[in-house]
Amino acid sequence: MKLAAVVLTYNEAAHIRACLSSLAFADECIVFDSGSTDETATLAKNAGAQVIHHPFQNYAAQRNAALQAVAVWADWVLFVDADERVTPELAAEILQVVRHPGDIAGYQIPRHNYIFGKLTRATGWYPDYQTRLLRAGRAHYDPEKIVHEVVLLEGDLGTLQTPLVHYNYRDLAHFRHKQRRYSRFEAEVLHEQGTHTRPYTPFTMFARHFWWRFVTLNGYRDGWHGLLLSLLMARYEFRKYRLLREMKG
């Protein structure tokens, strides 16, 4: 069973070396780059990875293109983001399951999210399962889900026990930058789907999402950290629906 580790990148020079180092257990590492203007590609090549350049359309399309590129020789594909790390314990578990897959077409992996440098155990960020270990030829991404991609499997879904480490959101500025991009993507999807809103919708979505994060998903267990994240994610929902209102005129 051949395992390809794939990292999608765009200007990830700060992360790419450490990420690839954690993927040394794979048969080959592929950096699927969408036009980086920094040293990402050079650093990846120096680390022994194969670099494939592919223009970015959306996240689902990018992952599907990467799957097609490696499926000609790989039996399994592990997707890892540049700001994620595979621990030795997770690497050992991955190697064990790909040798004896049965009818499993993909595995979801829990994730430890470090937000503003703090491990976040509630507020919706744990176990934060990500379906990232895919059997080539039996998995693809739903082309309709262009943000927060959804994997479609031809077979069963398994679950790994060892978490993937995610160094998510360095600081508040980084958080706001990424959420602005995601909120516009999602607003555009809602607009294309014909979703209707009312003038008060951004406010009700803010309140509902805050309650969901802080109460339903136990954000209060993360203390002030959980309160801040609940407010920030509620603000993200507010912005998404405000953008949708603007798109509809």
Identify the pLDDT of residue 19: 98
Query: What is the pLDDT at residue 230?
Result: 97
CA 63 to CA 132: how far, in whole Å?
Answer: 10
For 233, phi then psi, to 5°, come to -70, -30
Q: Residue 16: what pLDDT?
A: 98
pLDDT of residue 218: 96
pLDDT value of residue 185: 85
Chain centroid to CA 13: 18
Count the alpha carbons within 13 Å of 81 in the hemisphere toward its beta carbon.
Answer: 13
Structural domains in the chain? 3-168 (3.90.550.10), 172-247 (no CATH)
**Burial (0-12, 13-18, 19+ Cβ within 10 Å), 18:** middle
Separation of alpha carbons 204 and 152, rounded Å: 32
Q: 156 φ, ψ to 5°?
A: -85, 160
Phi and psi dihedrals of 141, rounded to 5? Answer: -95, 140
Q: What is the residue-level pLDDT of the chain in tens, covering all 249 positions?
A: 899 999 999 999 999 999 999 999 999 999 999 999 999 999 999 999 999 999 999 889 999 999 999 999 999 999 999 999 999 999 999 999 999 888 999 999 999 999 999 999 999 999 999 999 999 999 999 998 877 789 999 999 999 999 999 999 999 999 998 898 889 989 998 998 899 899 999 999 999 999 999 999 999 999 999 999 999 999 999 999 999 999 987
**pLDDT at position 82:** 97
What pLDDT is stored for residue 249 in this prediction?
A: 72
Q: State residue 248's pLDDT score.
A: 81
Which tokens hold the place of 161?
């026990």
Residue 145 has a pLDDT of: 82
Nearest to 34 by CA among 16, 7, 15: 7
pLDDT at 147: 72
pTM over 0.75: yes
| CA 149 to each of CA 132, 146, 193, 238: distance values in angstroms, whole numbers, following the listed order | 11, 6, 17, 21
**What's the pLDDT score for residue 138?**
96
